[in-house]
Chains A and B, each alone.
Chain A
Amino acid sequence: MDRVVVTGVGAVTPFGIGVDVLWQSLLNNKNGITKIKDNKIQGEIVGIGGCLPEVDYSKYLDEDKELFSYIPQNKNNKSFFLAVYEALKQADLDPRKMEDTDNIGVCIADRNSGMIDNIDRYSILMQKAQTDEGYDLNKYFELLNSIENSNLEQWNDKESINHYVSRNYKITGPQLSVATACASGNNSIGEAFLKIKYGQINMAIAGGAYNLDLKSMMGFTRIGALTTNEDPETACRPFDAERNGFVMSSGCGALILESLESAKKRNVKILAEVVGYGCMSDAYRSTDPDPEAKAATLTIEQCIKMANISCDEIDYINAHGTSTKMNDYTETIAIKNVFKEKAYNIPISSTKSMIGHSIMAAAAIEAIVCIKSINEGIVHQTRNYCKIDTKLDLDYVKDGPRKLDINYTLSNSFGFGGQNSAIILSKFKE
């Protein structure tokens, strides 16, 4: 079985474009959460979040005319693509120049959200098709077909980020788009890791991408999962006693994974090694996590077992830490279940405390944060962790960034529907 290493990382977050911008902002305890500047999100619908930065492709034209002369109308792919570009560049990898790309997998979690852009015109047609019993589907269809001079997005722009990346970099290898809600990024990295480990592919572009939109803001406001604190500065406060919901965010995290053999052959710098992956299902309730955190506990244990290390060797945990009452509680329970007394001595921080929860992208961005922590020997703090919740009594890195010699980091992600996933990244050693 092959060892799997990370040779490139790229990120687009509310702080801006690039991993360095993200990392410096985290170390400076900055806040990436703002009022959402989208006139569709108004009234009681939660109006704060982490937004994608503005992107200007003209800046990249000199670097790569072929990639950046076409500007996608799809604002999501336009931003997400820059994270992949950064990661590939760091890995010194250009699949367009490779003879055979069958062995490169593309595993970036994202979702199809194109239709929401047509909400204005479709709503009016739906109204016209409404009947006493519901909606006349034939009539709605007829009305849609009567739309003239359609401004619908071009075919190319509706594609997923996986397709967009593969098309632009001429990658013929397998596609896997995983959707496990908030756990998606870890599952994508984990599945790509195992594909390389078992020799199915040599390399993978793995990660996650997400952009908040009206539909998600309406839905998550309605279910009561978002914070009602409308102050962007203090809204997101993982593990704090006054936390009351998560803050929706946007972003993309991309990692280049490859077999150690491949990285050595290419003589490229190795940033970290992926050594463990765990995934288990609560099978409890669609609306709530299991209060005993059984599956979350087993997920972490499975991950540690795969890494072939002991609990004592985990130096840092990048928590899922969403700032919801239940998640932060059950995650703490799971950590205590696994690490017992040692749990109190492991620094735990939440990246979401500064950039919010970018759902399918979150875990991928957090994996990148773990890699930076390993290489820089420092962990960022949990922002807004001020008031202690007596049930949450671990070390959540309260007082600023902390220097730490890290060999192994654990990154947790848990999602709606009882999804649990965890990965372990380690300092690379021969």
Chain B
Amino acid sequence: MGKIVISGIGLLSSLGTDLDSHLKILKSEKFLKYNEKGCDFNDIVRKVEKIDIKKYVKNRKSIRFFSKQTKIGCYCSKIAIDDAKLTDKDIKLNERMNALILGSGYSQSLLPMADALISCVDSNKGILDYKKLGDSGYRMLPPLWILSRLPNTTSGQISIENGIKGLNYTVVNGVNSGIVSIGEAFFTIKQDRAIRVICGGIEDEILPDFIYELKQDKLLANNSAENRVFSKKSSGYSIAEGGCVLVVEKEDEALKRNANIYCEIVGYSNYYIPDINELKEETEISKYFEKNMAKCMKMAGVEPKNIDFIQASAGGDNLLDYSEAIAINRLFSKNTYITESKSYIGNTLAASGAMSVAFACLQLKNNFIAPILENKDIFLDNELKYVKNDAIDNESKICLVNSFSHLGEMCTLILKKR
């Protein structure tokens, strides 16, 4: 069995639209953490820079029904495919062995149907008039509107744009969608069902009703300043838009094109915590996290001492962050560096795990480890090896990437430098 590598990355986050802007901030620049104390929607959600999608889409007519998710997906895919030096000709050579497995966002706002709905609000009675909605209101939706609401439209559109004609499916595993798609891509190639998989995660536009519902679930920080990773002082997540697409392929395919190989994928684990709602103690949850990481290492044939750094899942949820810290402590104690991505870009939900993988790739490739943007009141600070304040130069060989969901899903990937 040949090696399976990551050869292309397309990233879009609140940090920027290209790899260089991400690398610059992670590596050398002092990054001023988004530090709004306001509680307005625009203070809470980290938005991505607007992209001129026309530059990245061949069939411009189709843009009319694109959701923001589809725009981000098409953009990130184009960047990833170019980064992998993959041409249309390369894809066409064995087009049915090029697959697409994409993690799709789960924010399901009602705002995209607002024009139809509010035209039917009976202001006097303060109710929605369903008769009117059915008679005329629904016609205010564009004819192709439903396409923008289907979770698989983005993957369908990416396949159309890039001629990806093999296996194609969308993963909707909540915040783990992106990382699960990468893990499944790894398995798919291992099983010889594809030579290459375009994978990753794309979140949809984040809108107020979705944020409100997350807030009801007590998942959000009161404001962005109170979102602190691995910190006792954090009051929850900071939610963000974003997308990340990777090209995962057989190494010999990448080498044929002299592509830029970031790393090899050597391990993947995906388990669930069925009693997540009942567990209130960090030590109980940490046992599951520990198991997930241990199983991944077993699959990869590595031991804790071989892991140079951990790209942690932590994002500001006290229970999960502390549980992860305990699990890391049990397995790695103070021997392994710890970094993370969410203090830079927030929690990009369906994209978040894929984002962490991309950040890990950049660090492995460029021989550094980025600091976590927190240095006060950190869980188990004296017992763990957090990277703080400044990036460190480190010729790491193996990185472990975690993604743990508040809904109980756990996923770990292990990446090895080539």
A residues near B (Cβ < 8 Å) are: 39-45, 102, 106, 111-116, 118-120, 122-124, 126-127, 130, 135, 137-138, 140-142, 144-145, 150, 152, 155-156, 158-160, 163, 166-167, 169-181, 187, 191, 194-195, 198, 200, 215-216, 218-224, 279-287, 295, 298, 415-419
Contact = CB atoms under 8 A, between A and B. Distances in A.
Contacts of B96: 280, 298
A240 B259 CA distance: 52
Contacts of A142: 40-41
A119 B111 contact: no
A137 B208 CA distance: 6
Given A124-B121, A181-B150, A42 B272 contact: no
Given A155-B217, A219-B145, A283 B160 contact: yes
B141 A42 contact: no
What are the nearest 7 A-B pairs in CB distance?
A: A43-B134, A417-B156, A219-B146, A141-B41, A42-B134, A281-B168, A141-B208
Contacts of A287: 144, 147
A122 B209 contact: yes
Interface stretch (B18-26, B100-108, B357-365, B384-392): B100-108
Given A45-B134, A279-B168, A219 B152 contact: no
A135 B212 CA distance: 16
B114 interface: yes
A43 B156 contact: no
Which of B136, B150, B174, B288 has the most C-beta atoms of chain A within 10 angstroms of its own C-beta?
Answer: B150
A159 B276 CA distance: 12
A174 to B, nearest CB: 4
Given A144-B212, A283-B163, A45 B138 contact: yes
Contacts of B100: 281
B209 A140 contact: yes
A176 B152 contact: no
Which of B131, B150, B160, B168 has the most C-beta atoms of chain A within 10 angstroms of its own C-beta?
Answer: B168
A44 B135 contact: yes
A298 B134 CA distance: 41
Interface stretch (B2-10, B122-130, B246-254, B301-309): B122-130
A43 B157 contact: no
A140 B169 contact: no
A126 B112 CA distance: 11
A102 B130 contact: no
Interface residues of B, number: 94
B345 interface: no
Contacts of B136: 43
B94 interface: no
Contacts of B272: 106, 163, 166, 171-175
A419 B152 contact: yes
A247 to B, nearest CB: 16
Contacts of A419: 152, 156, 168-169
8 contacts: A41-B134, A45-B134, A102-B295, A115-B108, A123-B128, A127-B123, A180-B170, A191-B169
Given A45-B138, A173-B271, 4 more contacts: A130-B114, A140-B111, A179-B104, A222-B142
A85 B104 CA distance: 28
Contacts of B160: 283-286, 418
A42 B133 contact: yes
B104 A216 contact: no
Contact of A181 (B109, B152, B275): B152
A215 B168 contact: no
A239 B184 CA distance: 36
B42 to A, nearest CB: 6
B151 A120 contact: no
B207 A137 contact: yes
A177 B156 contact: no
Contacts of A283: 159-160, 162-165
A112 B151 CA distance: 10
A280 B168 contact: yes
Nearest to B132: A43
Given A120-B128, A286-B160, A102 B111 contact: no
A40 B188 CA distance: 43
Interface string B301-338: 00000000000000000000000000000000000000
B155 interface: yes
Given A171-B272, A283-B163, A218 B108 contact: no
Contacts of A174: 270-272
A222 B104 contact: no
A200 B271 contact: no
Interface in B189-231: 190-191, 193, 207-213, 215-217
